[in-house]
Amino acid sequence: MNTNPLLDFSGLPRFDGIGPEHVTPAIDALLAEAEAAVKVAQTVAPIRWDSFVTPLDDATERLYRAWGQVSHLQSVVNTPELREVYNANLPRISRFGSAVAQNPALYAQYKALAASDEAKAYDEARGKVLANALRDFRLGGAELNDADKARFAQLQEELSGLQAKFSQNVLDATDAFALYVDSESELSGLPVDVIANARAAAQKEEREGWKLTLQMPCYLPVLTYADNRTLREQLYRANAIRASEFGDAALDNSGNIDRILAVRNALAALLGFENYAEYSIATKMAADAPQVLGFLRDLAARAKPYAQRDRVELEAYARDELGLEDLQAWDLSYAGEKLKQARYSYSEQEVKQYFTEPKVLAGLFGVIERLYGLNVQPDSAPVWHEDVRFYRLVDADGTLVGQFYLDLYAREGKRGGAWMDDCRNRRVTAAGVQTPLVYLVCNFGRGSDGKPATFSHDEVTTLFHEMGHGLHQLLTRIGELAVAGINGVEWDAVELPSQFMENFCWEWDQVQAMTAHVSTGGPLPRPLFDKMLAAKNYQSGMFTVRQLEFGLFDMLLHSQYQPEQGGVLQVLERVRDEVAVNVPPDWNRFPNQFSHIFAGGYAAGYYSYKWAEVLSADAYAAFEEAPEQVEATGARFRAEVLSRGGSRSAAENFRAFRGRDPQIDALLRHNGMAA
């Protein structure tokens, strides 16, 4: 066995043994190996798939798999030592990627392979790998002159560092805040489990009282349930100004935002694009930025009347029933929850008692079995934290399809939010089939007092969403690395499988099967579910315009922003004037925490959530139209969408499944906004 766990590819990653000291030596060795493979590939002849693409894939896959493990640990168990080696090696990975993308000899070899007789006989997947490779060489700067290539690589390296710093600043600013409360009366209205966890957090520091944080399992309940308006305002303000000029100057992301935008535009300009949005959209389903802006504005025009109605109702209720004359940002969730309880006679907190973790997981796994005939079984693997569980996904005939890690709870040193990432992709080699391995990460509250964790219905939906991404990665049948799983899938279609899965959280049979009250063990009563269903589209107008606000802000920043015409906040202000009904205080610094676009993969792509929601709602409608054929429809969805990876376009996948182009009707209907 290799003494450096990052260099051991014989089985599952050795997460229990990876330390900061292993990172640089492993990256040294793997970079040298990958660079040597590139050197050989530049001149290999005759040029064939097995002599050219396969050896390159072998070497680069090992490098990116090891680096993926380091990046993952940096997100889920961040320590100063790990961060230091991550930041030291990130530019090296970025430089290697740039050098490959710009390598003229490799580009020439790919062009020669594409023009060869052998290529004429390639299947769909190999054909797509070649087409994508040629496109990506162009987008990676392979056709630039030497001076521009050097500049392009330098900008990419700078950008990866800026994005990492942005994310780390948000994490540190989140972890740095704590509010200690001495009297339990100040916590009036908060759920019992939240109070218990706040007490435990204080005791862990050997302090009296209760510790409140900006971690979502604490922050969201305070904003939603705390009767103490001052407390809500304190936490809202602390959250809203994270990583901004109002806090620790070392964690202020304002300068990072300006520089990230400038670097992105400079990268796009070098390749001859008008702006970064055009560069980003070159690999997406959408045609161009004007099409995306038109799509978002059309949806906004449909949704805003519903959002305005939601706001007027909320203001009237807050004034008449809660005595809140001026509805502030820190009152929205609280007043919204009170109105929901009054109108539908139930509370999210009441519902949460039924969604106990063991039942929710069993229910989720049951859906996977019902739709695709697959079995989820507990499995064992080395893990990075005691919270983590591991499972295997097995086909009806007993064949291993893939495996996944599940890391459900929030904790310090763990990035906020929920995500799926691949640890190892599917690949068919001479040695056999390499099965996929994925991470599913959430930030839920843990159980207390010996009771299992309970999830809000929103959290259950989040879990189903991430599992949808996971299934896209796990159920691929493609053997070529570059188009297996979500690789090569257009970014604005990548949310289709995840949003599709959310729909099953609203089916009565499904909900009944995955609920058991934390105290009594009884399932969710039908009358309570009917109230949830009646409230399903409660404030959906407000929620929709909020998502459109983010999407428009992102697209305008990356397609039309000119710093000399006003700052980033002015762009956001103009977007809010156009679509928003809830306008935050002017000291709110939302952009400074908008990791999706400044540190994640959603730059000039946040619109993807709504774009893909059109696809996912229409895909789910196929199940609604033939309720007696769930297995057959599920098999077709698996075959035409999930298993295809990026081996053909998302539009072709959709048409093969649905027999036609996507239509917006189902989305509007599911959101209660149909004409």
Mean pLDDT of 514-542: 96
Q: Are residues 526 and 549 in the same domain?
A: no
Question: To the nearest whole percent, how much of the chain has pLDDT over 70?
Answer: 100
pTM to 2 decimals? Answer: 0.93
Q: Are residues 218 and 261 in the same domain?
A: no
**Residues in Cβ contact with 617 at an 8 Å cutoff, skipping those fewer than 6 apart:** 499, 503, 666, 667, 669, 670
Range of the structural domain that residue 316 is part of: 251-346+540-606
Run of H or E including 291? helix 289-322
CATH code of residue 571: 1.10.1370.10
At residue 1, does pLDDT exceed 70? no
Q: Are residues 306 and 372 in the same domain?
A: no
Q: Are residues 84 and 110 in the same domain?
A: yes
Cα–Cα dist 357/408, whole Å:
10
**Residues in Cβ contact with 190 at an 8 Å cutoff, skipping those fewer than 6 apart:** 198, 221, 222, 225, 226
Q: For residue range 18-32, list pLDDT tens digits in order.
A: 999 999 999 999 999
Q: Are residues 118 and 185 in the same domain?
A: no
Residue 303 lies in a domain: yes
DSSP SS3 for 283: coil
Residue 668 lies in a domain: no
Q: Are residues 482 and 411 in the same domain?
A: yes
From 582, 606, 630, the end of a domain falls on 606
DSSP string, 558-596: HHT--GGG--HHHHHHHHHHHH-SS---TT--GGGG-HH
Active-site residue identified among 357, 466, 480, 613: 466
Cα–Cα dist 65/423, whole Å:
7
Mean pLDDT of 568-580: 97
Mean pLDDT of 119-126: 97
Q: Are residues 496 and 522 in the same domain?
A: yes
Residue 656 lies in a domain: no
DSSP SS3 for 46: coil
Cα–Cα dist 362/460, whole Å:
12
Residue 146 lies in a domain: no
Residue 302 lies in a domain: yes
- One-letter amino acid for residue 201 of the chain: A
Cα–Cα dist 147/668, whole Å:
50
Residue 665 lies in a domain: no
Cα–Cα dist 69/624, whole Å:
40
Q: For residue range 218-265, list pLDDT tens digits in order.
A: 999 999 999 999 999 999 999 999 999 999 999 999 999 999 999 999
654-659 LR contacts (CB < 8 Å, sep 24+): 654/493, 654/496, 654/615, 654/618, 654/619, 657/619, 657/622, 658/618, 658/619, 658/622
Both tokens assigned to 152: 């392009």
Both tokens assigned to 378: 């507990």
- Residue found by looking up tokens 């906040």 in the block: 569
At residue 449, does pLDDT exceed 90? no
At residue 674, does pLDDT exceed 90? no
From 534, 558, 579, the end of a domain falls on 534
Q: Are residues 523 and 588 in the same domain?
A: no
Q: Are residues 207 and 255 in the same domain?
A: no
Q: Are residues 510 and 588 in the same domain?
A: no
CA angle 233, 234, 236 (to 5 degrees): 60
Q: For residue range 295-308, list pLDDT tens digits in order.
A: 999 999 999 999 99
Cα–Cα dist 668/675, whole Å:
8
Q: Are residues 315 and 285 in the same domain?
A: yes
The tally of domains found in the chain comes to 4
Check residue 675 and give its pLDDT.
63
Both tokens assigned to 172: 């540190």
Q: For residue range 467-488, list pLDDT tens digits in order.
A: 999 999 999 999 999 999 999 9
Beta strands per DSSP E along 215-324: none
Q: Are residues 386 and 527 in the same domain?
A: yes
At residue 270, does pLDDT exceed 90? yes
Check residue 372 and give its pLDDT.
97
DSSP SS3 for 213: coil
**Residues in Cβ contact with 392 at an 8 Å cutoff, skipping those fewer than 6 apart:** 376, 377, 378, 379, 400, 402, 403
Chain-centre distance for alpha carbon 126 = 28
Q: For residue range 130-152, list pLDDT tens digits in order.
A: 999 999 999 999 999 999 999 99
Cα–Cα dist 7/17, whole Å:
12
Mean pLDDT of 200-212: 97
CATH code of residue 449: 1.10.1370.40
Indicate if 625 belongs to the active site: no
From 606, 622, 646, the end of a domain falls on 606
At residue 160, does pLDDT exceed 70? yes
Contact 496, 331 (CB under 8 A): no
